[in-house]
Amino acid sequence: MEESPLHAFELHELIPLVPAGIDISINKAVILMWVVVGLVAFLMISAAAARKLVPGKLQNIAELIVEFIRGIILDTMGEPGMKYFPLIATLFLFILFANLIGLIPGSYTVTSQIIVTAVFAVGIYGLSIVLGFSLHGMKFLGILVPPGTPGWLLPLMIPIELISQLARPISLAVRLFANMTAGHVILGVLFGLAISGGLLIGWLPFAFTIAMNGLEVGIAFIQAYIFTVLSCVYLGDAVTLHGHSEHAH
Amino acid sequence: MPPSQDPLYAGLGQAVRIGTELLAALIVGGGLGWVVDTYLLDSNPWGMVTGLGLGAAAGVRNAYRSAQRWQS
Amino acid sequence: MPQFESHFFSSLIFWEILSFGILFFLLYKYAFPSLLGMLEQREKKIKDSLDQAERHRSEAERKLREYEAKLAMAAKDSEALLAQAKERAQRLMEENEQRMTVDAERIKGDATREIEQERRKAIQDIRSQTTDLALMVAEKVVGRALTEADHRRLADEALDALAKTYQSRN
């Protein structure tokens, strides 16, 4: 079974489910999504229910996360961005816990599925486009024209801006997927070496595996953080329409 | 940047970001060029060449913009 | 890569949207309001206590300024009082001196006048006595009694002569 380090990403239908011709069969990734939802909901809701003035450990973690996300939103979108706090916070928590739970041997990393990260990326980017047009109307097309562009450059700048806009959801989706996949491939290979290496030299890759696991925890955090920050930046650009000019100088 | 953010992680994040930013822009540019070549103008391979060029420009622009953003 | 097997896409998309929606709803309803509220409450408390400290500080500063102003005023008051007292003493001294000078002048004048009076009286006395004496002498010399009026005239003539000599000598 050790033919490929990628076999860890293979999915198998556990419970076939095809209502109205749409395949929504249960597989390992789906179950891990449920685990993420259950864990996050349990952590946050029980922390919220504690409501003590001197917070316990759980409440502390939950408050730290809330404060962290609020900091991201305030830095990228300012006070008006707090309207999107529930969405951004849920996104961050879902991705972070999906990344972290995937590190447990034998589980599955939901975010190493390109389709999963693509749904998040397209969803957030699509929301930013919808918000942009509903808030600014046709003026939102001005996002394709960087402020201070001379007229003769427009035929060149508009396609470039259009491409850079379209690249946003793709880079968002690909980055998270690639990082999660790569990390797990390396972990898988090292773990495989540790098992097959036996007692004599097996401990070496095993030690590496442990070190890599530490690094992977960091990457899990960073990727969730980057995804969240960029989501905020894209939403902020659409909401304010000045995000461009602010950073152009 | 949130004040709680470790500068090391911020730097790492930035480094990881810029590569994908370039790649994604190239994919989009090349893809659009290919679509123009194959379905619209039958201008193979000039659409794709132009697309890749524009994609590279857009990627550099995106990377530059995100670098500016992280700096401020 | 197994992740590009589109066979699982539909079920992954469906379950992802569903579970994300459920998580969003749960957190939106039961977790975030309370957690954000707690955070804001704590921040408000910190801000309040900072504000209070600031208020206390400015209060103390105000009091210090007030006290300093009072102190300065008191110093000015006492200075003014001292100057006033000095001035009064000076005035009193000057007045005293002036009065004393006036008194001395008056006393001196009085004494001068008195002396002059005495002198005049003395001269008058001497004059009348001398007249009587001269009369007596003359009576004896002349040997006959002149009339009282003659006597007087003669005596006065003699005296006048005498006075003239006396005055020219002096």
Residue C87's pLDDT band (cuts 50, 70, 90): very high
| C-beta of residue A248 within 8 angstroms of C-beta of residue A157 | no
Rounded Cα distance between B47 and B49, Å, is 5
- The answer for C65, left when phi > 0, alpha when psi is -120 to 50, beta otherwise, is alpha
Average pLDDT over chain C reads 86
Residue C120 and residue C127: Cα distance in Å, rounded?
Answer: 10
In a mutational test of the A interface, the residue from B65, B68, B70 whose CB has the highest number of chain A CBs within 10 Å is B65
A94-124: pLDDT as tens digits: 999 998 888 887 788 888 888 899 999 999 9
Closest in C4, C24, C35 to A114, CB measured? C4
pLDDT at A217 (0 to 100): 85
Which of C12, C26, C35 has the CB atom closest to A41's CB atom? C26
Residue A200 has what pLDDT?
64
Cβ of A115 and C12 within 8 Å?
A: yes
DSSP A126: H
**C147 falls within a domain:** yes
Q: Which of A163-172, C81-90, C108-117 is least confident?
A: A163-172
- Please give the average per-residue pLDDT across C69-73, as a whole number: 93
Predicted confidence (pLDDT) at residue B52 exceeds the cutoff of 80: yes
Name the residue of chain A whose CA is nearest to B32's CA.
Answer: A163
Please, are residues A66 and A89 in contact by the beta-carbon 8 Å criterion? yes
Kind and range of the H or E element at C122?
helix C32-142
Prediction pTM value: 0.69
C20 to A94: CB separation less than 8 angstroms, yes or no? yes
* Interface-testing mutation among A83, A116, A185, with chain C (most C C-beta atoms within 10 A): A116
B touches C, CB cut-off 8 Å, minimum 3 pairs: no
Residues of chain C found within 8 Å of residue A51, distances taken between Cβ atoms: 34, 38
Interchain contact, B20 vs A161, CB within 8 Å: no
- On chain B, the residues whose CB falls within 8 A of the CB of A171 are 17, 20-21, 23-25, 62
Chain B touched by A160 (CB under 8 Å):
yes
Residue A109: how many other CB atoms lie within 10 Å: 26
* pLDDT value at residue C150: 77
**Is C58 among the domain residues?**
yes
- Report chain A (249 residues): mean pLDDT per 10 consecutive residues: 61 74 80 90 84 70 87 85 89 92 82 90 92 84 76 80 87 86 77 68 70 80 88 86 46
Give pLDDT, residue A245: 40
Closest CA–CA distance from residue A53 to any residue of chain C (Å): 8
- Given this model, what pLDDT does residue C131 score? 82
Q: Which two tokens stand for residue A122?
A: 């397209």
Q: pLDDT-derived band of residue B6, with 50, 70 and 90 as boundaries? A: low
pLDDT for A48 equals 81
CB within 8 Å of chain B, chain A residues 200-239: 218, 221-223, 225-226, 229-230, 233
Give the alpha-carbon dihedral of A177, A182, A185, A186, to 10 degrees: -150
Q: Where are the domains of chain B?
A: 20-71
Give residue A122's domain range: 5-248
In the block, which residue shows the tokens 């896409």?
C9
Burial of C144 per CB tally in 10 Å (0-12, 13-18, 19+): exposed
Inter-CA distances, C154 with A29, A249, C46, C169, Å: 174, 141, 131, 23
User: What domain count does chain C have?
Assistant: 1
Q: What is the residue range of C77's domain?
A: 29-169
Q: Cβ of C11 and A27 within 8 Å?
A: yes
Mean pLDDT of C20-38: 87
- Are A163 and B72 inside 8 Å of each other by CB? no
**What chain C residue is nearest to A85 in terms of C-alpha separation?**
C32
Identify the contact set of chain C against chain A, taking CB-CB distances under 8 A: 1-5, 7-17, 19-20, 22-24, 26-28, 30-36, 38-39
- Tokens representing A182 are 């790569």
Per-residue pLDDT, A244: 42
Q: Is residue C21 part of a domain?
A: no
pLDDT in the model for residue A130: 92
Asked if pLDDT for residue C25 goes beyond 50, the answer is yes
Nearest CB among C3, C5, C11 relative to A24 is that of C11
Question: What ipTM was reported for this prediction?
Answer: 0.83
pLDDT band of C67, cuts 50, 70, 90: very high
Condensed to tens digits (0 to 9), the pLDDT of residues B14-46 reads: 666 677 788 888 888 888 888 888 887 777 778
User: In this complex, do B59 and A164 lie within 8 Å of one another by their Cβ atoms?
Assistant: yes
Distance (Å, whole) CA A204 – CA A211: 11
Chain C contacts of A33, Cβ < 8 Å? 15-16, 19
Residues 6+ apart with CB under 8 A from A21: none
Q: How many domains does chain A have?
A: 1
On the 0-12 / 13-18 / 19+ scale of CB atoms within 10 A, A114 is buried
How many CA within 13 A on the CB side of residue B32?
A: 20
Q: According to the model, what pLDDT value does residue A144 have?
A: 79
